[in-house]
Amino acid sequence: MDSKNWIFLSMNKLIVFIVFILNICTNIVANPNLQARTGILVDYHSDKILFELDPDAQIYPASMTKIMTSIIAFDLIKNNKLSLDDMFSVSENAWRLSQAGYSSMFIMINDQVSVEDLLKGIIIASGNDACVALAEGIAGSEENFADMMNEKAGEIGMTSTNFTNASGINDPDNVSTARDIALMSKYLIKNYPIFYEIFAEKDFTWDRTGGEPIKQGNRNPLLYKNVGVDGVKTGYLAVEKYSLASSMKKKDRRLIAVASGFNTKNLRSSESLKLLNWGFRNTNTFEISKKDETTFELDTWLGTKNKIKATTKEDFYVTINKKDITHLNVLLDYSGPISAPIDKGTKIAKIIVTKKNEIIKELPLYAAEDLKKVNFFKSLLTSLNYLIWGDV
C-alpha cells in the first residue's frame, strides 16, 4: 500500500476515534446515566432541577419516611410543645418491631426513653421501634401521628405523598415520589439546621436495659467517604429495592439528590455519589440577592443624600451550566435619578437576570431607608445648577 494512502487511512481512523471519545465525554457531561428507577437532583438554594429521571413515579419511601417523623418532632420542639428531655414509655407495640427482624434501636417494654435518644435511634440507627415509641408518645397512636405527618406534607407542598406510619415499613398505602422526598429534605435542612446535624452523626450507642450497650453506625454509606455529604436517609424494601436521599455541601453550595430502585447497596452508594458529583462538576450557583441583606445603591435627585440603598424581599440564586457562565448578565433597571422624597419599602427599581438575552428572572427592588427631600432653597439651587451646568 502507498505510504500516503496508509497515512490518510490512519488519520481517518484517528479522527473517528477522537470524535467517538468526544461523543462519550459529551454524553457524560449531558447525562449522568443514573442506574435507578427514579431520581432527581436539585440545587438547594436556587431550587433548580439539574437532573431528573421519572421523578414523579410513585415509590415506597421505606425508611426515608423517617425524615418526616423527625420533622414532626423538631417542629414541636421548635414551638416549645416538646422537649429533648421528655421521657416516653415503650409499649409492647413498639417493642415487637425490635423482635421482628427490622432495623431497631432495641428498646424494651416499659423502658422510659428520652425524645433525644429516640430521635438518634430513628435518624442514626434507623430504628423502627423508636419510630413507634416516638409516634405514640407524641400523638397517642401511630395512626394519629400519621395524620400529623400528612398535614405537614401538605404544608410543605408534597402533593404526591401519603404517610400511613412513622417508620415506612411495609404498607402499600405509604407512598411518595423522589420529587416530594427532595422537597421534604430541603425543608428539614432549611428549618432545623441544628437538629439536621444529627443526620451527619456516624454512630449512636444505646445503653439498653438488660444487656450491654449497643453501638450502631449510621446507615448512610456516603457519610463515611468524607466528600461533604451530611445527610439524609437511606431506605430499603424488598418491593422497592434500595433508595437514598442524600445531600452534599461544598463551601456555600448544597445539592440534594433522591433516587430509588437501586438493585444493590453498592449501586445506591456509588450512583448517588456520581449524581451529586456530576451536579457540582457541571453547574454553578450564584447568589444574586439575599432578602434584606444584599444592598444596591441608586442615584437620587433632590434628596438629602445622593444615593439610596435598595434591597429585595426574597432570596434569589441562579444555577446554570458552567459552559453558559459567560452568557449570564445581571442588570439594574430604573429611571433615575429617583426623585425624593422616598419612603422605605417603596418599589424603586428592579434587577433583571438574563442568559443569552433570555430573561431568567426579574426581581423588584425596594427602598431600604427613608430619604427626605432637601429644603426649598437647596432644591432651587440644585435645579439652577443642573440647568446651567447639566450636572447635579
Catalytic residue ranges: 63, 66, 126
Helix, coil or strand: residue 325: helix
> CB count, 10 Å around CB of 177?
23
Rounded-to-integer distance, Cα 302 and Cα 373, Å:
6
Residues 125 and 105: beta-carbon distance below 8 Å: yes
Nearest CA among 76, 87, 110, 111 for reference residue 191: 76
- Output phi, psi for 101, to 5 deg: 90, 0
DSSP string, 217-283: E-S-GGGGG-SSEEEEEEEEETTTEEEEEEEEEETTEEEEEEEEEESSHHHHHHHHHHHHHHHHHHE
Contacts of residue 218, Cβ cutoff 8 Å, sequence gap at least 6 = 124, 125, 201, 202, 203, 204
Contacts of residue 358, Cβ cutoff 8 Å, sequence gap at least 6 = none
In sequence order, what are the beta bridge partners of 300?
A: 338
The grid coordinates of residue 46 equal 436556587
Rounded-to-integer distance, Cα 78 and Cα 55, Å:
31
Contacts of residue 150, Cβ cutoff 8 Å, sequence gap at least 6 = 161, 162, 163
